[in-house]
Amino acid sequence: MIVVDHYDVVVIGAGHAGCEAALAAARLGQKTLLATLSMDNIALMPCNPSVGGPAKGHLVREIDALGGQMGIAADEACIQMRMLNTGKGYAVQALRAQADKPLYHTIMKRTVENQENLDVKQLMIDKLLIKNGAVQGVEAETGEVFEADCVILATGTYLRGRILYGEVAYMAGPNGQRSAMNLTGSLQEAGLQLMRFKTGTPARVDRRSIDFSKTEPQYGDDVVRNFSFISPITQRRQVPCYLTYTNPRTHKIIRDNLHRSCMFNGTIEGVGPRYCPSIESKIVRFADKSRHQLFLEPEGLETNEVYVQGMSSSLPAEIQVAFMQTIPGLEHCKMMRAGYAIEYDCLDPLQLKASLEHKQISGLFSAGQSNGTSGYEEAAAQGLIAGINAARKLQGKKPLILGRSDAYIGVLIDDLVTKGTAEPYRMMTSRAEYRLLLRQDNADLRLTQKGRDVGLVTDARYDAFTKKRDAIERALTELSRINLAPSEENQTRIVAMGSVPLKSSINMADLLRRPEISYEKLQRAFGLMPLSPIEAEEVDVQVKYKGYIEKQKQEVVRAMKLENRLLPDDIDYKQMHELSSEAMEKLDKQRPVSIGQASRISGVSPADISVLMVYLETRRRKGEEA
């Protein structure tokens, strides 16, 4: 055992969680080591070549607003950008980018390699070193020891990773990389509770073997948009994706070979994701459907690999080719990589605090698929928070805890540490009860100040943010102050905007609430202060949804009363016999910090919450009498 160096923070794994964690810790002044199994796989996208989408796009915007890196890299690597759900309300609209996979890796590798205070090393970490309930560092397979005050687990799907398809099964991480075989044992020795999960990926086919004339092209938006609020990109080369469908012939081949699928023959031990099922699972679960849609997505501008979105499979390679060749456009496809399932070890996130630090082991943090989540975006969001909080712990500062009304990141982490997960967790808009407040368009208005207070938001970003915020506030004030009389001149202008004439005087903000009116139209017609398209859109949303937004803010105020009722650390739930046995067990195990968090624990009923409220009141009165 050789002590090589001492670091403030060691991050194990350089995927999307690890990169954000390491960058955050280093940028906050901590000497940081980013340990990766392969320098060639930093920020690897082992599954779909995309970033964003419903709820996930919200996460990317929030990461960016706090000073993270994913949005900036995704914008630079983007080869197609679309705003999804434009026919629905602003709360569920979200950006989704097709990314050039090799380019995204190159961008993030360059970023971490050139970050001050950050060392990047190719290492297999075998042991977590712990003494007296606190992290001491890590040991690599070479025997090298790197001492550290904080360690962040960002191991992705590499902990005892096992790839399976058909009769093929071997220990490996994504894309056949090395699997971390020894770290699991070290974590278990330290008392960590682990779970076994499964995910999967579809085949990649050769672009030259696809007949795109039999598919439906899916183009990007004409309007150039970006994830990052500070991205300078105004022009982008975009390439189409293509839509095609399975058919009864496809389904018959799959059904006839289900016994050879690892998902159905008992080979796989891990629990798979409900919201990203394999094609075998789709055929079985939705037997009444005659077809399922598939998207053919380019993996990059300089590669012929095309990702078959919606076709995740663990069937034998020859069966994968056979059923794909029944699909329009893929009749002569050549498979470059077979789809596969991968199972791996991960932590039960109920062991973590909201800061993502382990409850029993000081200085140990965990982020990403290590915590039972799925998706690049969920991983990056957790990595950013873990990196921030590791740095703040070392600086003697309180952790950054985002509430459910602050950010989708807050919803994500609260769900994990309060409710846990029995399957790979995926962020969805339906999980956020305050989603009208947590729109992707206002992520910077919600979180940039928090990022500034933490120390990750640069002067340039903050200046740009304050200018935008102030312009929006001035415009809203101006709208509320202007009253329009039903004069002939005003009526002419309003009719020209495609609206109906006034019946009486109206406030301009009220006029903007009409669905056919936009700030841009008002600005041109009445000479209002000019705004950028993004600023004007934000004004539109705030004015048109004002009533709903105010209602949700009132709901937040009511909910915060429970969040602010803190539960003491020394509370003995086992002696609270008025609680149900299930509530007693779960409260004792999870140790919620507040009444609000306790109310979200599965198995804790309203009656149990009433018991806790009575307990707190009784304790308060005894304190006053003393």
What CATH number does residue 241 fall under? 2.40.30.260
How far is C-alpha 553 from the geometric centre of its chain's CA atoms?
A: 24
* Integer Cα distance of 43 and 40 in angstroms: 9
The domain total for the chain is 3
Same domain (yes/no): 470, 529: yes
Same domain (yes/no): 571, 540: no
Token look-up 């609270």 returns: 576
DSSP letters for 227-276: SSTT----------EEEEE--HHHHHHHHHTGGG-TTTSS---SBPPTTS
**End residue of a domain, out of 305, 340, 375:** 340
The helix/strand/coil state of 104 is helix
Same domain (yes/no): 300, 249: yes
Top pLDDT among 89 and 103 is at 103
Domain-located, residue 436: no
What CATH number does residue 610 fall under? 1.10.150.570
Same domain (yes/no): 491, 574: no
Nearest partner of 191 among 41, 352, 317, 361, judged by Cα: 361
Same domain (yes/no): 583, 484: no
pLDDT at 541 over 60: yes
Question: Order of strands across the sheet with 194-201?
Answer: 168-171, 162-165, 340-347, 194-201
Domain-located, residue 427: no
Asked which of 190-194, 218-222, 365-369, 569-573 is least confident by mean pLDDT, the reply is: 569-573
pLDDT tens, position by position, 6-42: 999 999 999 999 999 999 999 999 999 999 999 999 9
Q: Which two tokens stand for residue 163?
A: 């790839």
What CATH number does residue 501 fall under? 1.10.10.1800
- Which band of pLDDT confidence, cut at 50, 70 and 90, is reported for residue 625? low
pLDDT at 433 over 80: yes
Domain-located, residue 568: yes
* Integer Cα distance of 597 and 359 in angstroms: 15
What does the CA dihedral 87, 88, 94, 97 come to, rounded to 10 degrees? -30
Asked which of 146-160, 214-228, 254-268 is least confident by mean pLDDT, the reply is: 254-268
Under 8 Å between Cβ of 61 and 407: no
Same domain (yes/no): 294, 260: yes
Q: Which two tokens stand for residue 236?
A: 């982008």
pLDDT at 511 over 60: yes
* Integer Cα distance of 145 and 428 in angstroms: 40
> Which residues lie across from 11 on neighbouring strands?
34, 152
| Gap between the terminal Cα atoms of the chain | 55
Token look-up 């970006």 returns: 226
Domain-located, residue 298: yes
The pLDDT value recorded for residue 626 is 53
pLDDT at 517 over 60: yes
**End residue of a domain, out of 294, 318, 340:** 340
Domain-located, residue 489: yes
Prediction pTM value? 0.95
Domain-located, residue 245: yes
pLDDT at 456 over 90: yes
pLDDT tens, position by position, 168-211: 999 999 988 999 999 999 999 999 999 999 999 999 999 999 99
- Which band of pLDDT confidence, cut at 50, 70 and 90, is reported for residue 264? confident
Same domain (yes/no): 208, 326: yes
The pLDDT value recorded for residue 624 is 65
Domain-located, residue 450: no
Same domain (yes/no): 599, 522: no
* Integer Cα distance of 439 and 112 in angstroms: 29
Q: Where are the alpha helices (DSSP H) in 421-545?
A: 443-454, 459-481, 488-496, 508-512, 519-526, 533-544
Same domain (yes/no): 328, 228: yes
Nearest partner of 319 among 163, 166, 162, judged by Cα: 166
CA angle 111/400/390 to nearest 5° reads 55
Q: Which two tokens stand for residue 505?
A: 């005087």
**End residue of a domain, out of 322, 340, 358:** 340
Nearest partner of 118 among 11, 5, 33, 18, judged by Cα: 33
Per-residue buried b or exposed e for 406-420, using 16+ beta carbons within 10 Å of the residue's own CB: bbbbbbbbbbbbbeb
Non-local (6+) Cβ contacts of 417 within 8 A are 349, 350, 352, 353, 354, 356
- What is the average pLDDT value for the chain, to the nearest integer? 95
Domain-located, residue 496: yes
Ramachandran sector of residue 268 (left: φ over 0; alpha: ψ -120 to 50; beta: rest): beta
Type of residue found at 537 = E
Q: Which two tokens stand for residue 91?
A: 């709360």
CA angle 84/86/88 to nearest 5° reads 110
- The percentage of residues in the chain with a pLDDT greater than 90, rounded to a whole number, is 92
The pLDDT value recorded for residue 612 is 93
Q: Where are the alpha helices (DSSP H) in 150-201?
A: 183-189
Q: Domain limits at 600? A: 564-625
Asked which of 407-411, 412-416, 581-585 is least confident by mean pLDDT, the reply is: 581-585
- Which band of pLDDT confidence, cut at 50, 70 and 90, is reported for residue 619? confident
Q: Which two tokens stand for residue 225?
A: 């948009």
Same domain (yes/no): 533, 605: no
* Integer Cα distance of 499 and 76 in angstroms: 41
Burial bucket for residue 457 (CB in 10 Å: 0-12, 13-18, 19+): buried
How far is C-alpha 621 from the geometric centre of its chain's CA atoms?
A: 43
How far is C-alpha 385 from the geometric centre of its chain's CA atoms?
A: 12
The pLDDT value recorded for residue 441 is 95
pLDDT at 287 over 60: yes
Please give the average per-residue pLDDT across 613-626, as a whole number.
Answer: 81
The pLDDT value recorded for residue 431 is 93
Q: Where are the alpha helices (DSSP H) in 326-417?
A: 376-394, 408-414
| Angle, in degrees to the nearest 10, between helices 317-324 and 248-256 | 160
| Torsion sign across C-alpha atoms 493, 496, 500, 501 | positive
pLDDT tens, position by position, 117-139: 999 999 999 999 999 999 999 99
Same domain (yes/no): 593, 527: no
* Helix-then-strand count for the chain, H and E: 20, 22
The helix/strand/coil state of 197 is strand
pLDDT tens, position by position, 219-251: 999 999 999 999 999 999 999 999 999 999 999
The pLDDT value recorded for residue 317 is 96
Same domain (yes/no): 503, 604: no
pLDDT at 454 over 60: yes
